[in-house]
Amino acid sequence: MRSSPTHRRSTAPLPTPPLLVVTDRRASVLPLPAVVAAALAGGCRWFAVREKDLAPADLADLVADIVAQARPFGATILVAGVADAVAAARIARASAADGVHLPRDGDVAAARAALGPDALVGLSAHDRREAERAAAAGADDVTLSPVFASAGKPGYGPALGVAELEAIAKAVDIPVLALGGITTPDDVAACRAAGAAGVAVMGAVARAVDPRTVVTALIEGWSA
């Protein structure tokens, strides 16, 4: 049975194309501004700035820089990786970001109250129960990981696989973004065929010498 929300969701649509690039400047081959520029040139219009080692003020400054870089492209920027929803919302407001992406236990209602109805509030999930909780809490979308084996998600058990992705996407009434181990256009196509509303990638872009080419190929995989 599909879950029903207990809180109002955002009035804003999800970005298109539905490719969410999650930043990881420590793993990036190129400086983060160059990664963002290349991803934008490749067609990405959705970023989650997830730099968990930064102090709030430093993260706000970094997000503000990325917002300024991405605004001419109409891209959507989220603050990610901050456990406290109110703190995440505070950073989003300070940096003029478009919303937040919270960890699996994040307080969606608190973020929504702080940011208003136009902000996007996403939540992470690693199984069906967590995805259902995200939907019931009123999240605008949920990242489900790891769909494939991933070095970036080592602590969340074995890969879920596309069959479980399909089952969860059918079980909840919010967009499910596949995350974890997505590196090729074929991975993206398999996730879309399984019912994912989009895909999220981190390592595939961060580790790329040519992020633009990687992003373009992943978007083409979605559209194929």
- 48-104 residue pLDDT tens: 999 999 999 999 999 999 999 999 999 999 999 999 999 999 999 999 999 999 999
Report field, pTM of the whole predicted structure over 0.85: yes
Query: Which run of H or of E encompasses 221?
Result: helix 211-223
- Give CA torsion, residues 28, 32, 34, 37, to 10 deg: 120
Question: 177 - beta bridge partners?
Answer: 143, 198
Sign, Cα dihedral of 168, 169, 173, 176 = positive
Nearest 5°: the CA angle 197, 202, 203 is 135
φ/ψ of 85, rounded to 5, equals -65, -40
- Residue 7 confidence class, pLDDT cut points 50, 70, 90: low
Looking at this protein, which amino acid is placed at residue 19? Answer: L
Cis amide prior to 31 (ω within 30 degrees): no
Intra-chain end-to-end CA distance of the chain, in Å: 31
- The CATH architecture assigned to 19-223 reads Alpha-Beta Barrel (3.20)
pLDDT at 4: 47
